[in-house]
Amino acid sequence: MSSRERWRWLMRGLLVVVAIGAVIVFFLSGAARHFDFAALQRSRAWLLIEQATHPWRLAFAFLGVLITIVALSLPGLTVLTLAAGAIFGLPEGTVLVSFGSAIGATLVMLATRFVFKDAIRRRFPHRLHKVDAGIEHDGAFYLLNIRLVPVFPFFLVNLLMGLTHIPVRTYYWVTQLGMLAGVAVYVNAGTRIGRASAWGQLVSMPMLVSLALLAALPFASRWIIRRARHWRHERRWHH
């Protein structure tokens, strides 16, 4: 083993130890209890004061916490998304959650690629063939479908894509675009926290309709793209 390979394995081990240590500290320190609906209700008044007096400081602190939660795949993303609406409002909250979740997801993907990709692809080459084929055939649209229809958990998609050959830039912008509408729906729900005493009271008919439309969007998009390709092919054939 060359010195370069030893260095890579050392960095991989260090990254795994730091990540596991951070997760353990998160739960043992009691930090997890601050990421639930009741905690958000208790802290809302103080956070609104901070937003009024130090808006930029709070925005950057919120963004840092959000990126950390996503990058370590810790529970709390839903509560933070609601908090963004309650504290910052719909436009600013959507921007913060959109960038924070996309950056965090990309960090997970990169970490997985650096630590596990080579070993797992050598051991399970055929199991990843279907994902590779989907990305090669449909490109960014393949990932966009996964993001718009959350069949797989958010963190699992981040881990899985780290094992593929998808370009980092493509992964980032497709992740941000694919999650944008869903983020806006949940941030908008968060703007109603002041009038809700429980999570169930945030769920409204417009929210359910919005989520249903989001679920239908990939299928409608695929149909439109197929029709456009068919129309383009017919035009070329007639000419």
Instruction: Please report whether residue 14 resides in a domain.
Output: no
pLDDT tops 70 at residue 50: yes
Provide the pLDDT confidence category of residue 92 given band limits of 50, 70 and 90.
very high
Instruction: Assess if residue 105 is contained within a domain.
Output: yes
Listed in order, strand segments (DSSP E) in 126-168 are none
CA–CA separation, 164 and 154 (whole Å): 16
- On average, the pLDDT of the chain sits at 80
15 in a structural domain: no
Question: Does residue 24 form part of some domain?
Answer: no
The two structure tokens encoding residue 119: 């070993």
Please determine, for residue 188, whether its predicted confidence score (pLDDT) is greater than 70.
Answer: yes
Domain assignment present for residue 68? The answer is: yes
Q: Is residue 25 part of a domain?
A: no
In the chain, the number of structural domains is 1
pTM, full prediction? 0.79
Question: Do the domain assignments include residue 26?
Answer: no
> How many angstroms separate the CA atoms of 173 and 179, rounded?
10
Return the percentage of the chain with pLDDT > 90, whole number.
23
Q: Phi-psi bin for 139: left (phi > 0), alpha (psi -120 to 50), beta? A: left
Is residue 195 assigned to a domain? yes
If you average pLDDT over residues 22-45, what whole number do you get? 84
In which band, very low, low, confident or very high, does the pLDDT at 196 lie, cut at 50, 70 and 90? Answer: low
Domain membership of residue 192 as a residue range: 35-238
